[in-house]
Chain A
Amino acid sequence: MRMINRHPGRVSATLLGLLPFLLIMLIYSLASQERLAENPNDKLLPGLEQMTAAVDRMAFQEDRRSGDYLMWQDTTASLQRLGIGVTIAASLALVIGILNGALPLIRANLAPLVSALSMVPPLAILPILFIVFGLGELSKVMLIVIGTAPIMMRDVAQRVRELPGEQLIKIQTLGANTWQVITRMVLPQVLPRLIDSVRLSLGPAWLFLIAAEAIASTEGLGYRIFLVRRYLAMDVILPYVIWITILAIVIDQCLRLANRRLFPWYNAGGH
């Protein structure tokens, strides 16, 4: 049988999916054991024991200096920035995207600007953001907005233009004015697509968040990772990276489920 026609069953698909994770863990623990056997104080590849201890110290014990639970403090700070940034970016993307997609006059006016903005490497203007908005929360949120909004705007505009032309004609024959076309045909059909777009933009959003935190911050997941790097504290860095990954997966899945719940017609192939 050809390879392209061979499909795994349910169980074997799960096992095949788990295999790479197990392999990485195995290779890591073997390498870690070997180094620790040579030098019990090795910092480069900490074992499970050291990492658990580090997580316990960071998440479940008060910091000796400040009295805070650092990992939770970092998590709330980062999630807050990410949440505000992505929400602003998505709202902008929705408004500008719909206007660009639905109104040719606005498109002629704004689309070239949006295209150009989406080509600017966001990290290259991070210094400008720091100069203009200071080193506080605003510049970090702005980096996320500037980094993700233009691409989402283009995506939303594209999704609007992909709506069948027949629908656009049909709603006009039902007497709809421009406002009604946007609110009753375009907006409801673009919302689930916007959520998809946000899911794709979360990767870049995390990137910009951590970059901004690494450079100028006093708390946050990215800040912590870059802070403890000075002490080669891999026992903190690795759990933090895994934690960030878990957060990203959870957010992504929540959005996916919300999309399914809110827009049953979209996910059942009704578009």
Chain B
Amino acid sequence: MSFITVNNLWKEYGDLVVLENLNLSVKQGEFCTLVGASGCGKSTFLKMLLGQETPSRGQLLLEGEAFPGEPDRNRGIVFQRYSVFPHLTVRQNVLMALELEQKPWLGKLFGRARRSALEKVDAMLTSVGLEASANKWPHELSGGMQQRLAIAQSLIMRPRVLLLDEPFGALDPGIRKDMHDLLLKLWRETGTTIFMVTHDLKEGFYLGTRLLVFDKVRRDPHDPEAFGATITYDLPIGQADSKLFEDINESVAETARHQAA
């Protein structure tokens, strides 16, 4: 049985069709990148995986069961911004995850429990390269460091699925490359299933095991909202060549122009 199954999934807001007839099956441990023009439902799909949105029609299954209707500790998330807590230092940010899990009422750890939790936290901070910034506030970190922290915070929960919503969209190109390496390293170490939304088609081609292109197959020039997007390409990474890259790029750009018009 596949880990995540999507059957004839539709998402509509009134007359606005965002996603139509989505079908997908993902195995545990896959690293899927989701690309497509703005407004093609990538983020909506991610929100459904997170439990923030529910499908209008069709099925979305996690190991054969319907997805829980609200976010939980099995599904980690990293947003483009604002995913760390400004009132906690780097170390406290990661520690909080463990504290919430172990102390439902107090939400704080003390004494030996705290020390052993901090050991885990420091190991996690080292693996994302933040050991030197452990006692800084998030606003003292660069954008890339903040994203490292957000990833560390999610991964310490050992989520079954890690969702990334344009996590590197606001970073400089050089930093982005470092973040790619970090993400691939962590993915290999943890074996967690990853879904990453990106605007950058190159990023989609380079990272992960599987590329999912969200695009509109049907277009009504008079009513851009009439038809939704679906997955137009579902490619194992490694088999993609430059011709295909060009084709996808063109198609996505075409949709983006229609959306904007």
Contact = CB atoms under 8 A, between A and B. Distances in A.
Interface of A: 164, 166-167, 169-177, 179-180, 183-185, 188-189, 263-266, 268-271
The A interface, classified by DSSP as helix, strand, loop or mixed, is helix
Contacts of A176: 100, 107
B176 interface: no
Contacts of B230: none
B147 interface: no
The B interface, classified by DSSP as helix, strand, loop or mixed, is loop
A173 B85 contact: no
Contacts of B81: 164, 166
24 contacts: A166-B79, A169-B71, A170-B79, A172-B71, A173-B77, A173-B157, A174-B96, A174-B97, A174-B100, A175-B72, A177-B104, A179-B105, A180-B104, A184-B96, A189-B86, A263-B87, A265-B87, A265-B139, A266-B86, A266-B87, A268-B139, A270-B87, A270-B139, A271-B86
Given A180-B107, A184-B100, A265-B87, A164 B139 contact: no
User: Which A-B residue pairs are the 3 nearest by beta carbons?
Assistant: A175-B73, A270-B139, A164-B82
A173 B86 contact: no
Nearest to A269: B139
Contacts of B70: 172
B73 A268 contact: no
A14 B82 CA distance: 38
Nearest to B138: A270
Nearest to B159: A173
B241 to A, nearest CB: 37
B116 interface: no
B21 interface: no
A246 B84 CA distance: 41
B25 to A, nearest CB: 24
